[in-house]
Amino acid sequence: MALFDKFAKLAQDRAALIQTELHPFGTRIDEIYSPTEGRIGSQRVVLAGTNNYLGLTLDPDSIKAAQQALAEEGTGTTGSRMANGSYGSHMALESELADFFGRRSVIVFSTGYQANLGVIGTLAGPDDIVLLDADSHASIYDACRMGGAQVIRFRHNDAADLERRMRRLGEQAKDALIIVEGIYSMLGDQAPLREIADIKRRLGGYLLVDEAHSVGVLGQHGRGLAEELGVEDDVDVVLGTFSKSLGAIGGFAASQHPEFDLLRYASRPYIFTASPSPSSVASVRAALRALRARPELRTRLWENAHQLYSGLAGLGYQVGPQASPVVPVVLGSPQQGMAFWLGLIERGVYVNLVLPPATPNGQALVRCSVSAAHTSAQIDHIIGAFAELAITSREAAVNS
């Protein structure tokens, strides 16, 4: 078999599904007007398919900090922190994050994906057991594979199922690494972290929480789900990204364990890649200051989340299990999903289309996400577009 032959089925599936120039799996956003508005082709759209939870991507302070770093330190670091050195700003960001999370050590990575590879893939080797939520992000699965850990999945958000699987492991459960996410990126639901922390207290193990979608979103101070539920002391490693609420790119892991810093000498995704660029680090530091100083951003975000969630549920759509800045709407077949997504673009709304196997039960869903920067009128506009499409699809059903 030739090298590229394996893509034949992919090409076939793609051709069957994608028949329009504009499609959801490679959308070109031609212009960005604000954190919540842009242009796709000739269509002005409300952006409801980002992870810009606090709307900080165009925050004047972040931009100014980034511009200054760019002017003073240049466009890139051109190398790895291990081989080519860290900049003062990398260290400053790490200590600011350590202060924010109240943890001894923080390691910054070049992306959140690499943070997962670099932490999980290095901590959990072939002799270790990882218990992970079945709906875990691809970076978590890939990290487990990289390290060669023995991986046991438990049913999504089912603490009793986790406990059953831990009991099966007997004594081995004491050293196992449990991995969950603060907010799941597709359904917007939260891990039952209180119950999971309780299991850990009783049966042992280590707990890693990927708070990629929950930092800046949950908790009184924005530290994520563990803060929201008051179980931060039970979490051994908090992992996160700069690419969502902090509006830039990069990732981090924070821990209280005295040996955690040794990962810098063992973690290949930390060592064998270039460090985050100065402008990115500077904008993240400014965004972190905004996240801490402006809790009203979180309040706005949740007002918008509730408005969209109840608006779409009120139209009769099947939405996610709980109100969240991520609001999924279940749509049926992939073809129906494609048509619906295009219908939303025509009505000036950009969201994400997600297809199986990334979705539960083989159904397509559109993933809407809200930002603190959305106005209430923009949320109404999104709901209005869904309302029109609900009427159109009901009429189509009647006529067929």
Ligand X SMILES: Cc1ncc(COP(=O)(O)O)c(C=O)c1O
Per CB under 6 A, residues contacting ligand X are 111-113, 116, 137, 139, 181, 185, 210, 212-213, 241, 243, 251
Taking CB atoms, the residue at the shortest distance from ligand X is 112
The beta strand positions in the chain, using DSSP E, are 31-34, 37-40, 43-47, 105-109, 129-133, 150-154, 177-181, 206-210, 237-241, 251-255, 326-332, 349-350, 352-354, 364-369
- Report the candidate in 77, 109, 63, 82 with the shortest Cα–Cα distance to residue 242: 109
Which does residue 111 bind out of another protein, ligand X, none, counting CB within 5 to 8 angstroms by kind? ligand X
Q: Between residues 45 and 151, which has the closer beta carbon with respect to another protein?
A: 151
Query: 279 to 298, contacts with another protein by CB under 8 A?
Result: none
Give ∠ CA 321-323-329 in degrees, rounded to 5: 60
Q: Between residues 113 and 206, which has the closer beta carbon with respect to ligand X?
A: 113
Q: Between residues 139 and 279, which has the closer beta carbon with respect to ligand X?
A: 139
Catalytic status, residue 244: yes
As measured in angstroms, the least distance from the Cβ of 158 to another protein is 11
Which does residue 137 bind out of another protein, ligand X, none, counting CB within 5 to 8 angstroms by kind? ligand X
Which does residue 243 bind out of another protein, ligand X, none, counting CB within 5 to 8 angstroms by kind? ligand X
As measured in angstroms, the least distance from the Cβ of 139 to another protein is 15
Q: Which strands sit side by side in the sheet containing 251-255, from one edge to the other?
A: 105-109, 251-255, 237-241, 206-210, 177-181, 129-133, 150-154
Q: Between residues 244 and 347, which has the closer beta carbon with respect to ligand X?
A: 244
Question: According to CB under 8 A, which one of 74, 88, 125, 148 is a site residue for another protein?
Answer: 148
Which does residue 251 bind out of another protein, ligand X, none, counting CB within 5 to 8 angstroms by kind? ligand X
Q: Which residue type sits at 344?
A: L
As measured in angstroms, the least distance from the Cβ of 155 to another protein is 7
Query: 346 to 365, contacts with another protein by CB under 8 A?
Result: 356-357
Q: Which residue type sits at 125?
A: G
Collapsed DSSP state (helix, strand, coil) of residue 164: helix
Which does residue 134 bind out of another protein, ligand X, none, counting CB within 5 to 8 angstroms by kind? another protein
**Contact code string over 122-141 relative to another protein, x by CB under 8 A:** -----x-x----x-------
Q: CA-to-CA distance for 331 and 323, rounded, in angstroms? A: 18
Collapsed DSSP state (helix, strand, coil) of residue 4: helix
Q: CA-to-CA distance for 360 and 90, rounded, in angstroms? A: 39
Cβ pair 371, 35 in contact under 8 A? yes
DSSP state of 157: T
DSSP state of 215: T
Question: According to CB under 8 A, which one of 168, 174, 202, 268 is a site residue for another protein?
Answer: 168
Catalytic status, residue 185: yes
Burial class for 361, CB neighbours closer than 10 Å (0-12, 13-18, 19+)? exposed
Tokens 């500077």, residue located: 282
What is the per-residue burial (b if ≥16 Cβ within 10 Å, else e) of 210-229? bbbbbbbbbbebbbbbbbbb
**Using rule CB under 8 A, residue 11 touches another protein:** no
Q: CA-to-CA distance for 370 and 198, rounded, in angstroms? A: 32
As measured in angstroms, the least distance from the Cβ of 150 to another protein is 4
**Residue 357 token pair:** 């196997």
- Report the candidate in 12, 389, 352, 4 with the shortest Cα–Cα distance to residue 188: 352
As measured in angstroms, the least distance from the Cβ of 126 to another protein is 8
Q: Between residues 219 and 311, which has the closer beta carbon with respect to ligand X?
A: 219
SS3 of the chain: helix, strand, coil, percent, to 5: 50, 15, 35
Catalytic residue among 244, 245, 283, 324: 244
Question: According to CB under 8 A, which one of 23, 39, 155, 294 is a site residue for another protein?
Answer: 155
Catalytic residue among 185, 243, 255, 283: 185
Question: According to CB under 8 A, which one of 43, 172, 310, 363 is a site residue for another protein?
Answer: 172
**Using rule CB under 8 A, residue 170 touches another protein:** yes
**Using rule CB under 8 A, residue 88 touches another protein:** no
Catalytic status, residue 213: yes
Catalytic residue among 90, 137, 200, 213: 213
Residues classed as catalytic:
185, 213, 244
- Positions touching another protein (CB under 8 A) are 127, 129, 134, 144, 148, 150-153, 155, 164-165, 168-170, 172, 356-357
